[in-house]
Structure formats: C-alpha cells, structure tokens
Amino acid sequence: GEEVAQTPKHLVRGEGQKAKLYCAPIKGHSYVFWYQQVLKNEFKFLISFQNENVFDETGMPKERFSAKCLPNSPCSLEIQATKLEDSAVYFCASSQYGSSGNTIYFGEGSWLTVV
C-alpha cells in the first residue's frame, strides 16, 4: 500500500495479558522500524528489520517483547505479560533504503493501554 498501516488503533489489556500489534509497511519498502512513545514524549527506538531479518534490536526489552517480519505477512510486535509501564503509543515506520539519509514513513500508531 501507499501508507504504513497499523492495527489495531486502540488496544486495552489487563496487566499480565499479552498484546500483539501489527504493521504493514509501504509496498516496496525493505526496512521496518518500531518505536514506543510514552505520554507524547520522546520516541524510543525498539527494533528494526531489513526484510525479515532483524537489523537492530538494541532498544528491545527482550524479556517480554518480541517482533517478527515474515514474508507475505504483516510485521508484528508482541508483548508478553504486559505491565502498566507498557502503556504507550507504538509506532511502526518503513523506508526503502534504511534510515540513514532517507525519509522514514510512519503509521498512525497503535495505542496500548494496560490497566
């Protein structure tokens, strides 16, 4: 598609439940990025993919967070056993050639509320 599509737009989970978010990058884009934004503040980088391969996962809290980008499927970000502090907007972005020197295109975000 012509835009980064994220689903769901809103998700409410009880503490300890699993949350799974999806992202369809722009068609033809090889790089996918996930960012977390808490309380409209800074965008925390989580993970990036080049096609289905993890490119950089230095921002991922690995204990409970995992992500995949499989061929012919939307990318996903999964949080096991959610905590209150996971409440945030999760943004997916994509780019054709990587982030350096290139524009990355953001989706509208998925609002996760953990209660």
Partner 1 sequence: SQQGEEDPQALSIQEGENATMNCSYKTSINNLQWYRQNSGRGLVHLILIRSNEREKHSGRLRVTLDTSKKSSSLLITASRAADTASYFCATDRAFDMRFGAGTRLTVKP
b/e sequence 26-39, b meaning 16+ C-beta within 10 Å? beebbbbbbbbeee
Residues between 18 and 47 that touch partner 1 (CB under 8 A):
33, 35, 40-43, 45
- Nearest residue to 68 via CA among 34, 18, 111: 34
Identify the sign of the CA torsion 17, 64, 52, 43: positive
Nearer to partner 1, 52 or 108 (CB): 108
Task: Identify which of residues 82 and 109 has a Cβ nearer to partner 1 in the complex.
Answer: 109
What is the rounded distance in angstroms from the CA atom of residue 59 to the CA atom of residue 53? Answer: 16
Nearer to partner 1, 74 or 98 (CB): 98
Q: Which stretch binds partner 1 (CB under 8 A): 16-24, 64-72, 75-83, 105-113?
A: 105-113
Contact set with partner 1 (CB under 8 A): 4, 33, 35, 40-43, 45, 48, 55-56, 58, 91, 93, 98-101, 103-109
